[in-house]
Amino acid sequence: MSISPEKKGMHPRNPHRGRYDFKQLVTSCPELARFVAVNEYNDPSIDFANPDAVKMLNRAILKHFYGVSQWDIPPGYLCPPIPGRADYIHHVADLLGACNGDVIPRGNSVQVLDVGVGANCVYPIIGHSEYGWKFLGTEIDPVALENAKKIVDSNERLEGAIHFRLQKSTRDIFRNCLKPEERFDLTVCNPPFHASLEESQAGSKRKWNNLGKGTSSRKAPVLNFGGQEMELWCEGGEVGFIRRMIEESALIPKQCLWFTTLLSKESHLPLIYGALDFARVADGRTMDMAQGQKKSRIVAWTFLSEQEQDEWTRQRWK
């Protein structure tokens, strides 16, 4: 039996470090079979430029690894690559464990806020399936929120573990959404990367070219992972979004143990570090992630001193 080479840089607990085992995935999700074919390297694969194929692959992965048998997203909505999302969850699990004697806290006593949960609901699915955490997902898009609710309602194993809330203000992140008495051990967030629709479209074309499609007969590139405008871009891009996130987190410094977010571009780190310094966080960290040649990072910060962190974990997790 051949062993699939691991993708360099991925978290050691991530079950998606090797190549996709399509035979295994088709066994769990027979509907995937019609998209699988032998590629030029004589390996079974799918056409990653085909949004329907990618969506079916995600459905198979979520069913096989996480026990979620009913999963779908509306046409055109973000269909995230599961391995990278799983990496994020495992890295922030280590972050919580570092506050708890290197023991990762598990179970529904751990409360996680997913900022911009999306129609796919992937972070809560992985976080609950892997660690038993409880999630609140916020979202500015009612259609995305309704679909995420549908996923949870259709899978008994997720019942009671994931709740949702509409953020009615498109400018706010925490404000006008969280209740004063709520406490979260962690936030996760996949911010919009681009600063404009034009920048987002240019990114789509680059991805299309990277998939080897170039100027194909299609009128416009259809991204394999999709995405609505509000999922892909916002005023100020990821720097603007994360800066607002940091500013608003300073208004609720004692309501969350660790605030975290993805940051795609390393060149943006100095700007984010500057915002963290201005907010006077007690501790800020960067966790590097990699999936082959693709690199990204998680930025994390807390307003709690080490003594306050110890008190937090004793009260909530012991």
Q: What is the pLDDT of residues 186-197, one digit of tens each?
A: 999 999 853 444
Residues of the chain scoring pLDDT < 50: 1-4, 194-197, 199-209, 211, 215-225, 227-228, 231-233
Residue 162, classed as helix, strand or coil, is strand
- Determine the pLDDT at residue 213: 53
Q: Is 172 exposed, middle or buried (0-12, 13-18, 19+ CB in 10 A)?
A: middle
Measuring CA to CA, which residue among 311, 245, 316 is closest to residue 284?
245
Q: Is residue 1 part of a domain?
A: no
Residue that is written with structure tokens 């996949």 in the block = 190
Q: Is residue 13 part of a domain?
A: no
CA–CA separation, 280 and 283 (whole Å): 9
Q: Is residue 10 part of a domain?
A: no
CA–CA separation, 207 and 204 (whole Å): 5
Q: Is residue 7 part of a domain?
A: no
Q: Is residue 90 part of a domain?
A: yes
Q: How many domains does the chain have?
A: 1
**Beta-carbon count within 10 A of 27 CB:** 13
- Determine the pLDDT at residue 235: 63
Torsion of CA 104, 106, 111, 116, to 10 degrees: 80
Q: In terms of residue numbers, what domain contains 235?
A: 22-317
- Determine the pLDDT at residue 237: 83
Asked if 147 contacts 136 with a C-beta cutoff of 8 angstroms, the reply is no
Q: Provide the CATH number for the domain around residue 120.
A: 3.40.50.150
Inter-CA distances, 290 with 10, 192, 227, 272, 273, Å: 6, 19, 22, 20, 21
- The DSSP symbol for 87 reads H
Q: Is residue 9 part of a domain?
A: no
Residue 302, classed as helix, strand or coil, is strand
| pTM reported for the whole predicted model | 0.87
CA–CA separation, 67 and 74 (whole Å): 21
Q: Is residue 6 part of a domain?
A: no
- Determine the pLDDT at residue 318: 75
Residue 289, classed as helix, strand or coil, is strand
End-to-end CA distance of the chain: 44
Q: Is residue 15 part of a domain?
A: no
